[in-house]
Amino acid sequence: MRPSRRALITTALAAPLAACVQEIGERPLRGADSHPAGYPTVEAVNHFGALISQRTNGRLRLQNYAGGQLGEEKDTLEITVFGGLDINRVNLAPLNPIEPLTLVPSLPFLFQSTDHMRRSLDGAPGRTILNSLERHGLIGLAFYDSGERSFYNTRGPIRTPADMRGLKLRVQTSNLPIAMVQALGASPIPMSYGEVFQALVQGVIDGAENNWPSYQDSRHFEVARFYSVTRHVMAPEVLVASARTWAKLSSSDREIIRDAATESVPFMRRLWEARETSARQAMIDAGVEVVEDLDRSAFQAAMAPVWDRFITSPAQTALVNQIRGMV
């Protein structure tokens, strides 16, 4: 069972107090991930932790709580800002309500390819976004791949936006995916990731959207048997540290942590590529109906108006243009 919100807040308040007594070094750094052990993000963060302890001769260690043990991303982010967690791996979408620049890589059909996404996020646009998190109490360390998200559902093949009319689709807790699903004529239901499987089984929702590895690991495929390869968004994963923790670290420890995060990116990408391919094949082997013959441009056209609605500041526009210029 997942911890209640009250329990999470209690943890959030208790941990900084405990941290006053126990300094980093006396206790391990605490990290959170909503995915289970073995998922590429979890393995990458473990690798990051191993590099840190190697380079500090075990003085700094990372205890990474995987599988959503410490709560959903929205909650663990709050706890990280309070300093109750030191490290957090989340998707970019839950950061949308916190920092408007994070909306940019979350836009539908922005990136033209994996290579375009990686070059943009490894380059100046990525740095601008990571730096923008500091004013919210978070230190942006690195972006990880999250592949492409596509829609899946329990009802039948989706080939055009018209096939989505009236479907209740779970979305991440951000106004952007809410608007994207509305633009397609379906009903968005914001819900935390950990609740989706049960909601699909109970028929509370008809579907959701995600990449292949998440679709597999979350077991959503057992209930939602139609996966339509819309590939409508490539919002990345992001690794952050608490600014409260950061303030207590020496500049050499900060450098070790930053370098370890950067070095965990190619490690993650290797795992990701293998996992994306194997997850897709596993889903085909499990009898999922993979809908490839769909009109992606119709989905793109239907979702286009959300760009203007969410990209409203000069800073966001500059970032969009910079990324578009990197195709």
| Assigned token pair, 153 | 């559902």
Q: Please count the other Cβ atoms lying within 10 Å of the Cβ belonging to residue 199.
A: 18
Residue 27 DSSP code: B
Stretch that binds ligand GTR, among 78-86, 100-108, 122-130, 209-217 (CB under 6 A): 209-217
Least distance (Å) between residue 261 CB and ligand GTR = 17
Residue nearest to ligand GTR (CB): 91
How far apart CA 310 and CA 44 sit, in angstroms, is 31
Q: Does 211 bind ligand GTR (CB under 6 A)?
A: yes
Given candidates 91, 102, 174, 242, which one binds ligand GTR under the rule CB under 6 A?
91
Distance of CA 189 to the CA centre of its chain: 18
Distance of CA 161 to the CA centre of its chain: 25
In the range 141-170, which residues lie near ligand GTR by CB under 6 A? 146
In the range 264-293, which residues lie near ligand GTR by CB under 6 A? none
Cross-strand partners of 64: 31
Q: Does 193 bind ligand GTR (CB under 6 A)?
A: yes
Q: Does 174 bind ligand GTR (CB under 6 A)?
A: no
Least distance (Å) between residue 136 CB and ligand GTR = 18
CB burial readout 75-106, b (16+ within 10 A) else e: bbbbbbbbbbbbbbbbbbbbbbebbbbbbbbb
- Which lies closer to ligand GTR via its Cβ, residue 19 or residue 138? 138
In the range 15-34, which residues lie near ligand GTR by CB under 6 A? 34
Q: Does 172 bind ligand GTR (CB under 6 A)?
A: yes
Given candidates 42, 52, 62, 90, which one binds ligand GTR under the rule CB under 6 A?
90
In the range 127-146, which residues lie near ligand GTR by CB under 6 A? 146
156, 161, 162, 166 alpha-carbon torsion, rounded to 10°: 70
| Assigned token pair, 229 | 């390869």
Q: Are 2 and 68 in contact (CB under 8 A)?
A: yes
Q: Does 102 bind ligand GTR (CB under 6 A)?
A: no
255: left (phi over 0), alpha (psi -120 to 50) or beta: alpha
Least distance (Å) between residue 27 CB and ligand GTR = 25
- Which lies closer to ligand GTR via its Cβ, residue 167 or residue 249? 167
Least distance (Å) between residue 253 CB and ligand GTR = 27
- Which lies closer to ligand GTR via its Cβ, residue 102 or residue 210? 210
- Which lies closer to ligand GTR via its Cβ, residue 153 or residue 172? 172
Least distance (Å) between residue 195 CB and ligand GTR = 10
| Assigned token pair, 302 | 């239907």
Taking Cα atoms as reference points, which of 148, 270, 279 lies closest to residue 209?
148
- Which lies closer to ligand GTR via its Cβ, residue 83 or residue 147? 147
Stretch that binds ligand GTR, among 45-53, 61-69, 122-130, 207-215 (CB under 6 A): 207-215
Q: Does 316 bind ligand GTR (CB under 6 A)?
A: no
Least distance (Å) between residue 127 CB and ligand GTR = 22
In Å, what is the CA distance from 279 to each residue of 150, 255, 275? 14, 35, 6
Q: Are 103 and 316 in contact (CB under 8 A)?
A: yes
Cross-strand partners of 143: 238
CA angle 140, 258, 322 (to 5 degrees): 50
Binding site for ligand GTR (CB under 6 A): 34, 73, 90-91, 146, 172, 193, 210-211, 214, 237
